Each structure stands twice: as C-alpha cells, then as structure tokens.
Amino acid sequence: MRVLFIGDVYGAPGVSAVKSFLRSARASFDFVIANGENCAGGFGITRAHFRALRDAGVDVVTLGNHTFDQPEAAQLLEETPRLVRPLTYPRGTPGVGFVTLPARDGSRITVGQVMGRLFMEAMDDPFEAADAIVEAAGPDEPVIVEVHAEATSEKKVLGYHLEGRASAVIGTHTHVQTADEALYQGTAWITDVGMTGVEHSSIGMRFEEVHHRMRTKQPRRFKPAVGTATLCAVALTLEGRRARSIERLRWRADDLADDAVQDSHALHGERT
C-alpha cells in the first residue's frame, strides 16, 4: 500500500498546493492523509477548507492544537470521522482521535493522532493514547500515528514507544521538515514532516508582524503569508503492518502560482 502524508497545510496557498500536487499525484497513492489544522490562515479549519482538501483527494484530515479555533469545528467533527483531532483531548470532546477506513487497494488503514505535552497545553497521556490507536487496528493492518508536538525529544521517544508496533510515527506541528526519516523494526519515523505553505515566512505567518512583536515586545496582529507554497510530505510503502520505505517529499508549486493566488482570495474572503 502506498500512503502519502502531507504536512501541516497552512492557509490558502497551502490548500492550493495540495490541490495542484494531487491533481497529478493522487493516482500513485492508495490513501492520502493531510494535517489541516492551519488551513484557515493558521487558525483551525472551516467546512470549506475541509471540503477543498477532500475534493483534492485527501482521505483523512488531521488537526492538533488549533482544532477548535473556528466556531464550526465542533459540529464538523461530529459530522465526519474523516476529520481526526488528537485522541489526547479529554473524554467527551467532539469527534474522533482515530479512524479506520478502506484504502483504494481494498485494505483497511487506521489513522490516529496524539498531542505532546512538552511546551504545549496540558493534555492526556500521549503514550497511552498511542497504545489505544495501535490496539484499534486489526491484526497486521497498517496503522499511522501522528504525533503533534513541539519537542523533538518527545516525538522521538513516542517513536521509540511505538517501534515495531505502528506502521509509521509521523511528527507534525513544528512546520520545518526534518531529515531524520528512518525505518526501525518495520516502523517508519520522521520527527517532522514539514509544512505545506509559504516557506519564506515565520512558519506560515508573514515575517513583518512577527518580527515586530519579537523585536519590540508589542502586539501586532499576525497575518498569514501569501505567495507560492511548498508542499512537504512523506510517501510510505506499507505491507500489512510493516513499513517498507519512507521517502521525504518537498515540492514547490512554482508553475501554478496564479492558481494559488486565485484560491487565496476565494478562501481568505471567508474567514481569516
């Protein structure tokens, strides 16, 4: 089974890059996952963004610490199991923390997400949650655990925790792709898959306002960067539960810049 995991899709340029990339690449994959918690200008996801990603060919959209930034998120989570929020939220939180779905090749795949606790909002135990995700998958079926976390060490230790048990442990949230992809006992690892957004930015936001705030310690409203996005992803080859390969992808949507700008206007008009 060939699985594509697309890193944090940031703002309208990120959504456009996903659409552009999958237009030609979707047929090469049996299942596509994308982290979409920054679609709405960095702050969560709207129904329109979710729809756009689904229409582009994404099977499951994952979230993270920005899950509830948009008012419609709770309802959207109740409407579809294809939108997955961290399992580490308190019991009773709307939506699901993992989902099992059929892939294009006919086999089933489980996708779940946990959130880290270092330098992040207090959450339930990600180790226990990761165990629950792995246990939810059928015997010898693929299971992907996304670790949405700030600290590299916590991501690495969660990878170790799941070694030989998960098909892949994919880090997200820090938005800068790491070059440490590896296979250990049939588990594919990467500390951070990277961002799908405008690379010349402060992890998705325009430099100007962030620079001002950092230099002067005075508030200025952040604005999402505009321009051409770079898509960051990993492509996985899985056989049953075991991963056979992990390949890092970085793709810049240069030749489709006009498309990206147009979509940017359409999506930003809605909510920023």
Q: Is 175 a catalytic residue?
A: no
Return the range that interacts with Fe ion (CB under 5 A); candidates 170-178, 181-189, 205-213, 233-241.
Answer: 170-178
| φ, ψ at 166 (rounded to 5°) | -100, 155
**How many angstroms separate the CA atoms of 158 and 146, rounded?**
10
Q: By CB under 5 A, is residue 97 in contact with Fe ion?
A: no
Q: By CB under 5 A, is residue 65 in contact with Fe ion?
A: yes
In this structure, which amino acid lies at residue 169? V
Residue among 62 and 65 whose Cβ is closer to Fe ion: 65
Q: By CB under 5 A, is residue 173 in contact with Fe ion?
A: yes
Q: By CB under 5 A, is residue 155 in contact with Fe ion?
A: no
Q: Are 223 and 209 in contact (CB under 8 A)?
A: yes
Give the helix/strand (H/E) hosting 247.
strand 242-252
Return the range that interacts with Fe ion (CB under 5 A); candidates 20-28, 94-102, 165-173, 237-245.
Answer: 165-173
Q: By CB under 5 A, is residue 264 in contact with Fe ion?
A: no
Q: Are 94 and 60 in contact (CB under 8 A)?
A: no
Region of 7 (left: φ > 0; alpha: ψ -120 to 50; beta: rest) is beta
**What is the pairing mode between strands 98-102 and 108-115?**
antiparallel
Number of chain positions touching Fe ion (CB under 5 A): 3
Residue among 13 and 204 whose Cβ is closer to Fe ion: 204
Residue among 64 and 186 whose Cβ is closer to Fe ion: 64
| Site residues (vs Fe ion, CB under 5 A) | 64-65, 173
Catalytic residue numbers read 66
